[in-house]
Structure 1
Amino acid sequence: MTDTAWTLTAAEGELQILTAVAGPAAKMGHRLTIAMASWRADVQWRGKQPVTVALLVDVDSLQVIKGEGGITPLTGPEKGVVRSNALKALDARKFPQITFTAEDIAKTAGGYRLGGDVEIHGTSRPQTVDLTVEEVGGVWEMTASVPVLQTQFGVKPYSLFVGSLKVADEVTIRFTARHPT
């Protein structure tokens, strides 16, 4: 059997964080789409089976793409404030990277189930990721969507007005990538 390796980066896909709003004043807040602009996923293969996946994300690469909802549209300067608040909540200087390492990989009907550990904000927890794979014209189109509770990693969701308006604890991590088969 031949061992091969794939490397995926932001050039081949997207890694996004989708937030919701919570609290009595939630209608005032924006549901955010945040992109992580610098990441790398290394996939080791043994024959036709992936055997390890290692994802490394640079926290400081966080970019606020858009905000939906709220009383007024999210402006450019407000995106800068949101970015600053998110980096502070993630304590990006102390914890500059987020990692996911999977060595328990099983084929599923629609792709692969990855079992491993994710580390965010210095806290490591087990995580399962269902990766959907569709082959289109000799290219694998891969997608995954994973809910994550910020507080399970010691991240305090950002809030305003004594907690009346806050980022919901659960965020969704969305991954998409394309790679030739």
Structure 2
Amino acid sequence: MSTESWTLDAADGGQLAVRTDVVGKASRMGHRLTIAVTSWTATVEWSGDAPTTVALTAEVASLDVVHGEGGLTPLLGPEKVVAKANALKSFDADRYPRIQFRSEEITAVDSGFRLAGTVEIHGVSRQVAVDVTVADHGDRWHIRSETAVRQSDYEITPYSQMFGAMKVADEVIVTFDAEYRVRP
């Protein structure tokens, strides 16, 4: 049985991002953000035609606010810098510089695979299951996932201002989208 290892990262055009929402009485004033993680690496170990292990490491300091919807004013450069600083502070990025995931069980499902394993965020480890959609295009695989994560599960206090009248929702959506070119 042949073994193979795939490596995917942001340099190959893959995207790892976090989408936030805003809650509270003054939520209309805030922006729903898309925050890209610009430095990450994922490895997939294969045995024959089945993946056996998936691991992902993301560098928290590489967060970059790329888009904001809503709010009273457009999200411009200076506001993006402030939003990034607030996100890094919420993550306590100096103390917890990485987010890591490692699968412990991989199950084939209709659209791809379910990865069950351990994720560590903000120094807290939890068991999670992530559904990954895979499309085999012959010369390349397109891999996607979208997963809800509650910040409070990882002892992260969502950013807030105006005494909590406007704050980032506890639940954020983590998205992953990458392609792997299959070697001939």
Which residue matches 1:6?
6
Pair 1:175–1:30, CA change in 2 (3 A): same
Residues 23-172 of structure 1: pairs in structure 2 closer than 5 A? 23-172=24-173
Deviations 1:115-134 (A, max 9, x none): 00111000000110000011
Alpha carbons 2:7, 2:44 under 8 Å: kept:
yes
Q: TM-score, with normalisation over the residues of structure 1?
A: 0.98
Q: Distance in 2 between matches of 1:72 and 1:123?
A: 36
The number of residue pairs the alignment matches comes to 181
Poorly superposed stretches of 4+, deviation over 2 Å = none
Which residue matches 2:176?
175
Q: Distance in 2 between matches of 1:147 and 1:27?
A: 22
Runs of 5+ in structure 2 lacking a partner?
Answer: none
Shift of 1:62: 0.3
Runs of 5+ in structure 1 lacking a partner?
Answer: none
Shift of 1:135: 1.8
Q: Distance in 2 between matches of 1:23 and 1:67?
A: 17
Shift of 1:75: 1.1
Q: Distance in 1 between matches of 2:82 and 2:114?
A: 37
Shift of 1:29: 0.5
* % identity of equivalent residues: 49
Q: Distance in 2 between matches of 1:180 and 1:111?
A: 17
Q: Distance in 2 between matches of 1:101 and 1:3?
A: 18
Q: Distance in 2 between matches of 1:179 and 1:89?
A: 33
Cα RMSD (Å): 0.8
Shift of 1:137: 4.7
Q: Distance in 2 between matches of 1:140 and 1:36?
A: 21
Shift of 1:180: 2.0
Q: Distance in 2 between matches of 1:15 and 1:71?
A: 27
Helix, strand or coil at the partner of 1:131 = strand
Shift of 1:138: 2.0
Q: Distance in 1 between matches of 2:138 and 2:6?
A: 18
